[in-house]
Amino acid sequence: MGLIVQKYGGSSVADAEGIKRVANRIVAAKRDGNQVVVVVSAMGDTTDELIDLAEQITPIPQGRELDMLLTAGERISMALLAMAINNLGHEASSFTGSQAGVITTSAHGRARIIDVTPGRIKEALDSGAIAIVAGFQGISQDTKDVTTLGRGGSDTTAVALAAALDADVCEIYTDVDGVFSADPRVVPSAKKLKTVTYDEMLELAASGAKVLHLRCVEYARRYNLPIHVRSSFSNNEGTWVVKDHPEGGAMEQAIISGIAHDKSEAKITIVGVPDRTGVAARIFQAIADADINIDMIVQNVSAAATGLTDISFTLPKAEGAEATSILQKLQGEVGFASIQYDDQIGKLSLVGAGMRSHPGVTATFFGALSDAGINIEMISTSEIRISVICRAADLERGAKAAHTAFELDADQNEAVVYGGSGR
């Protein structure tokens, strides 16, 4: 008998039919002799709709109240799912994140899990019940307020619970058959990956692939917990996220495992920055103090005549307004000329462990972009990733061109998108 943690995303439980279908799958896992813990997201686009609603009330909702509002989405789906399972003659109880022992920091909208104390979940399992847990939420250790882990955070709830319960596997159910070589909504010829390593998945998630939440992969890697990403709409074997590609697979292992694209970032350029020691530190300290995450940075060579340079960096669009206002306050002290804000950028990233041992990846990538007439504005790399910034309007074309250039296109269409609005 094993312990399985399953997570169902919003598109898998979008309506009553979906909830009943998922309930049947859960009961089947239980009948197979497993103890089952289920983490569930809010139904369909509920979270987006609640955000829209809040924005109709106020342009800047208070973090505490927004979290209180958004966590209601998961409470709806968890209760309905427990009812559907009860209806099938099995015992199930639902728990909020707080009841499930998900203890977090107090940063509303982006809380981090500090600890998981799943006493009540263990009790439910010991009594023979299926435990249903609301995803993406917890309770702050300090303030005791309800918090959320950031968009897509239910994956992280599932893996954190799986680690705390020492589960055998964490199954992430979604509306596609696994992790693909690119987002099938953008690159229809994308291939399903049999395996992807934690390191590759971390880079893909950090580069905008939405299939798994970044923190969830960090957690899984830390606890060496296998994740099986699969569809709740089919019985196909999905993608295994594991430490290493299986032995022997390395020979056929493609150089590039996946391509991610991201339209959620904006670029800020600080024009005419005095090229003096300590200036960049001052600027980025102020940004860091506001807990704003920056991604790529480029500093130009300063013009000899003026001793002035430009610094550009990218950051989540959602944090653009705050960063801009922080910088404006620094303008007098640092003495730069102006700030430019550009939210029409896209980021395209290639990820693959095979990159380490294959030269020429950058040349092939840039060649494909150039053939497609796409201009590169910024570049950043890691050992197993190359990312570029281009115009947002060119992004999807760039993803297709790179996918073809690295011979990733599937022979026949493998990528079925079963549900979801991709919102």
Residues making contact with ligand ASP (CB under 6 A): 9-10, 41-42, 47, 73, 135-136, 151-154
Amino acid in the structure at residue 144: K
Binds 258, which of ligand ASP, Mg ion, none (CB < 5 to 8 A, cut-off by type)? none
Nearest residue to 107 (alpha-carbon basis) of 227, 215, 264, 224: 215
Task: Based on DSSP, count helices (H) and strands (E) in the chain, helices before strands.
Answer: 11, 20
Q: Which of 10, 18, 178, 420 binds Mg ion (CB under 5 A)?
A: 10
Separation CA 112–CA 297 (nearest Å): 25
Contact 243, 224 (CB under 8 A): yes
Using rule CB under 5 A, residue 71 touches Mg ion: no
Alpha helices in 254-311 (DSSP H): 279-289
Shortest separation between residue 262's beta carbon and ligand ASP, angstroms: 16
Shortest separation between residue 69's beta carbon and ligand ASP, angstroms: 12
Binds 153, which of Mg ion, ligand ASP, none (CB < 5 to 8 A, cut-off by type)? ligand ASP
Binding mask 28-67 for Mg ion (x = CB under 5 A): -------------x--------------------------
Shortest separation between residue 418's beta carbon and ligand ASP, angstroms: 16
Residue 46 or 197: which CB sits closer to Mg ion?
46
| Residue 64 DSSP label | H
Binds 61, which of ligand ASP, Mg ion, none (CB < 5 to 8 A, cut-off by type)? none
Shortest separation between residue 220's beta carbon and Mg ion, angstroms: 19
Contacts of 210 (CB under 8 A, 6+ apart): 152, 183
Residue 10 or 419: which CB sits closer to Mg ion?
10
SS3 for 81-144, per residue? HHHHHHHCCCCEEEECCCCCCEEECCCCCCCCEEEECCHHHHHHHHCCCEEEEECCEEEECCCC
Residue 190 or 211: which CB sits closer to ligand ASP?
211
Q: What number of chain residues touch Mg ion (CB under 5 A)?
A: 2
Contact 35, 29 (CB under 8 A): no
Residue 228 or 400: which CB sits closer to ligand ASP?
228
Shortest separation between residue 104's beta carbon and ligand ASP, angstroms: 14
Shortest separation between residue 48's beta carbon and ligand ASP, angstroms: 7
Binds 210, which of ligand ASP, Mg ion, none (CB < 5 to 8 A, cut-off by type)? none
Separation CA 51–CA 34 (nearest Å): 37
Q: CA separation (Å) from 229 to 212, 247, 352?
A: 9, 21, 18
Binds 135, which of ligand ASP, Mg ion, none (CB < 5 to 8 A, cut-off by type)? ligand ASP
- Tracing tokens 């918090």 back to the chain, one arrives at 147
Interface with Mg ion (CB under 5 A): 10, 41
